[in-house]
């Protein structure tokens, strides 16, 4: 076991730690001290609970631990699943001292977090992410929510956890395709904020794909540092935080047009980043570096044939539309992103034509 790494998300009295290490689940970390009262509800799913619920129980010595296993999949990120969590809280007589613990990937984390934000206007909340994507992105920063037929993550709340506990050992059971999808968000962090990290990823992508523990721990730590810094600067996405959505406006439109579940979120974001780079005024060589790294990570880089108009319509539902104008996250250069409305609509349409 290596010494756990610790990063703080600096949000004043709501600051919280992200603890990253191997062997943390199974009693090696006292999570009980972060539980608000005596009762917790672990929200997981039918895939993750059989693998890690019992281990997590031994991190919660002395607490009363109930559990709920949701069905597995993005298509269950719905009001029905949210209500299952709320029903269990209400029927067990949970109060504001109850702590909801999300054990799973981003789907479980987003639903459980929204339930924690909504029940009695806010109960305790802890994130125990078990996918690479959730460890480097969705568990950090307090975005929670569910999907609506009209758009992804359309209903939700900002609600920060009290701690994010990342046991990198959980990645050993993660399907390879999911690991690659998580790498898309890791690569995103390099592309938007740290060219040195991007170059490190170019040198270490094979080690990451092979599940090499030190390489994964570094990629998770640097991603969390970047995300923590951006969130501390702009928690509610009034401005700069939107850079974390690099590739997401195109990616969400692809997911929405294809139907959720066809592509993994990280796969759609990979294609979206290539499209956003196409529209960015950067060196062609930088575009090629991004495309090449994503390709080497085993990610798709070309849009499926969903139709340019359909993608354009889906993009107009994006949360970054302000006064009918779509703001996009583009690159000023590789390693530096901006949020802008300063792009040519004709060029956007040409980029979308790749989806014909
Ligand atoms: P996911 O939660 O669907 O998990 C992927 C699959 O891996 C699932 O089948 C899950 O059961 C399985 N799994 C999870 N951990 C495992 C493990 N250790 N071993 C074996 N199998 C395991 O998908 P995801 O990629 O983690 O998250 C995607 C979701 O996250 C999307 O809904 C997206 O909108 C959301 N998201 C939210 C934010 C945010 O800031 N809140 C950011 C990015 C993405
Ligand atoms: N995944 C984008 C954000 O957390 O803001």
Residue 137 near residue 224, CB atoms below 8 Å? no
CA-nearest residue, atom 27 of ligand 1: 106
Residues 6 or more apart whose CB falls under 8 angstroms from that of 295 comprise 301
Residues 6 or more apart whose CB falls under 8 angstroms from that of 141 comprise 9, 160, 227, 228, 231, 235, 241, 244
- For residue 13, what pLDDT band results from cuts at 50, 70 and 90? very high
What confidence tens digit (pLDDT) does each residue in 14-50 have?
999 999 999 999 978 999 999 999 999 999 999 999 9
* pTM, rounded to two decimals: 0.96
Strand partners, 333: 336
Q: φ and ψ at 52, to 5 degrees?
A: -130, -5
Angle at alpha carbon of residue 287, lines to 286 and 290, rounded to 5°: 85
**Quick one: pLDDT at residue 258?**
87
Residue 42 near residue 56, CB atoms below 8 Å? yes
Number of C-beta neighbours around residue 62 at 10 A:
9
Closest-lying ligand 2 atom to the alpha carbon of residue 143: 4
Domain boundaries, the chain: 5-173, 176-355
CA-nearest residue, atom 39 of ligand 1: 138
Half-sphere exposure of 307 (CA within 13 A, CB side): 7
**Quick one: pLDDT at residue 260?**
66
Structure tokens at 293: 């790294």
Q: Does 5-173 match 176-355 in CATH topology?
A: no
Closest-lying ligand 1 atom to the alpha carbon of residue 52: 18
What confidence tens digit (pLDDT) does each residue in 304-325 have?
999 999 998 888 776 666 667 7
- CATH 3.40.190.80 for domain 176-355, yes or no, is no
On the 0-12 / 13-18 / 19+ scale of CB atoms within 10 A, 212 is middle
CA-nearest residue, atom 3 of ligand 2: 244
Q: Which ligand is nearest to the CA of 111?
A: 1
Q: Which ligand is nearest to the CA of 139?
A: 1
Position of tokens 């401005």? 239
Q: How close is the Cα of 60 to the center of ligand 2, in Å?
A: 29
Residue 41 near residue 88, CB atoms below 8 Å? yes
Pocket of ligand 1 (CB under 6 A): 45, 47-48, 51, 72, 74, 77, 104-108, 110, 130-131, 133-134, 137-138, 141, 143, 152-153, 170, 173-174, 178, 181, 265
What is the rounded CA–CA span in Å between residue 228 and residue 319?
21
CATH code of the domain occupying 5-173: 3.40.50.1970
Q: How close is the Cα of 247 to the center of ligand 1, in Å?
A: 18
Residue 325 near residue 341, CB atoms below 8 Å? yes
Q: Which ligand is nearest to the CA of 113?
A: 1
H-type alpha helices, 129-169:
132-133
**Quick one: pLDDT at residue 202?**
98
């Amino acid at each position: 076991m290596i010494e756990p790494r610790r990063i703080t998300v600096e949000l004043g009295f709501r600051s919280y730690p992200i603890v990253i290490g191997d062997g943390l689940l199974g009693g090696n970390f006292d999570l009980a001290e972060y539980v608000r009262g005596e009762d917790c509800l672990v929200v997981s799913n039918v895939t993750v609970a059989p693998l890690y619920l019992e281990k997590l129980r031994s991190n919660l010595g002395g607490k009363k631990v109930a559990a709920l296993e949701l069905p597995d999949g993005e298509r269950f990120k719905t009001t029905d699943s949210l209500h299952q969590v709320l029903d269990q809280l209400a029927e067990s007589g949970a109060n504001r001292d109850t702590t909801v613990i999300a054990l799973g990937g981003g789907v479980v984390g987003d639903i459980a977090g929204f339930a924690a934000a909504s029940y009695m206007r806010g109960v305790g909340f802890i994130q125990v992410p078990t996918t690479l994507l959730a460890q480097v992105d969705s568990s950090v920063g307090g975005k929670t929510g569910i999907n609506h037929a009209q758009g992804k993550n359309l209903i939700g709340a900002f609600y920060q956890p009290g701690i994010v506990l990342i046991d990198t050992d959980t990645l050993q059971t993660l399907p390879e395709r999911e690991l690659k999808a998580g790498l898309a968000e890791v690569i995103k962090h390099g592309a938007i904020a740290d060219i040195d990290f991007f170059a490190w990823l170019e040198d270490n992508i094979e080690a990451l794909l092979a599940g090499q523990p030190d390489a994964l721990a570094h990629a998770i730590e640097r991603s969390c540092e970047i995300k923590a810094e951006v969130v501390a600067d702009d928690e509610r996405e009034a401005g700069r935080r939107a850079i974390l959505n690099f590739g997401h406006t195109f990616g969400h439109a692809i997911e929405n047009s294809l139907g959720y579940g066809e592509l993994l979120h990280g796969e759609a974001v990979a294609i979206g980043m290539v499209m956003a780079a196409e529209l960015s005024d950067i060196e062609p060589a930088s575009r090629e570096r991004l495309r090449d790294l994503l390709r080497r990570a085993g990610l798709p880089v070309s849009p499926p044939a969903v139709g340019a108009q359909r993608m354009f319509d889906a993009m107009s539902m994006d949360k970054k539309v302000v006064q009918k104008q779509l703001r996009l996250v583009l690159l000023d250069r590789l390693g530096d992103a901006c949020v802008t409305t300063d792009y040519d609509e004709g060029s956007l349409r040409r980029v979308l034509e790749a989806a014909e």
